[in-house]
Amino acid sequence: MTTETPRWFKSSYSENGGVCIEVATNLLPTHGVIPVRDSKNPNGPVLTLHPTAWAGLVELARQATV
């Protein structure tokens, strides 16, 4: 099993002082999931999403900003 470390990043659209989520898409090829966490609590829980669920979350966020 691969023990690759997540490489967390925030969206380039994050302009609100760091109050957003971070994702680690580097685990998708090896683990088939996208971990998501609260940027304000990097040692807190991590939500692990299937790529389809991640796409749905991104689409929901896009619709909310229109």
pLDDT tens digit sequence for 19-52: 688 999 999 999 999 999 998 899 999 999 999 9
Stronger pLDDT, 27 or 11, i.e. the higher one: 27
Write out the two tokens for 10.
């925030």
- What pLDDT, on the 0 to 100 scale, is given for residue 16? 62
3-class state of residue 22 by DSSP: strand
Q: What is the pTM of this model?
A: 0.78
- Per-residue confidence at 13, pLDDT binned at 50, 70, 90? low
